[in-house]
Structure 1
Amino acid sequence: MEIVAIEGKAFEQLKQRFDDFTRQVKTLCGNGRNTEKWMNNAEVCGLLQISQRTLQSYRDDGTLPYSQIGRKCYYKTSDVEALLNQAKNESR
């Protein structure tokens, strides 16, 4: 193992740069980012009490936004809640 000696001032500068870098990484990688829950098809169908086919129609016509990873679709909880609220308001 090799031991390297550096001046205290150089060490403090190095430490400050590392702290700045850490803050930047946290900012870019999610410190303070939205951590909203995502739902899968089965969860959305159960909550909305709709069939898979109706959910497909909602995706096709843009009624319910979604994200797709591979062959699986996911929905933001807030989008599903907004759709529920919209349906409640229309039924009044």
Structure 2
Amino acid sequence: MEYMMVEKRSYERLVARIEALARRVSELCRRQDKALQPWLDNEEVCLLLNIQKRTLQRYRERGLLPCTQIRHKIYYKTEDVERLLAASALRSGSKR
């Protein structure tokens, strides 16, 4: 086992910074929306919007539908998909 000596003042500063960090993390966690919405994958979004995967890719590329990629899988927030659906309904309603 290896030991290291640290000045008391340095140790106290380190502890104070760790405590400040812990408070900040707790504060950020409290701010988060507790009712997390489920995330949708490509297949689910394509079914909901009745579109092909290539069309969904174009939506992402054009910034019409924000997404998050985790490893090789892409996810969408439910509220973003609903917003796109609502916008689409408004556009199709104004064409009549």
- TM-score when normalising by structure 2: 0.64
Gaps of 5+ in 2: 1-19
Which aligned pairs between 1:49-68 and structure 2 lie closer than 5 A? 49-68=50-69
Report Cα offsets for 1:61-87 as digits up to 9, x if no partner. 111010111111110100000000000
Question: 1:33 corresponds to which letter in structure 2?
Answer: Q
Gap regions ≥5 residues in structure 1: 1-20
2: CA distance, partners of 1:26 / 1:37: 23
Alignment partners' CA distance in 2, 1:49 and 1:61: 18
Aligned position for 1:77 = 78
Please give the alpha-carbon distance, in whole angstroms, between the structure 2 residues aligned to 1:32 and 1:62: 27
Q: RMSD over aligned Cα, in angstroms?
A: 1.9
- Kindly tell me the number of residue pairs found equivalent between the two proteins: 71
CA distance in 2, matches of 1:46, 1:32: 33
The TM-score normalised by the length of structure 1 is 0.67
Residue aligning to 1:27: 27
Give per-residue Cα distances to partners, 1:11-48, cap 9 Å, x unaligned. Answer: xxxxxxxxxx9x945433x3451222211101100100
Aligned equivalents of 1:55, 1:40: Cα separation in 2:
11
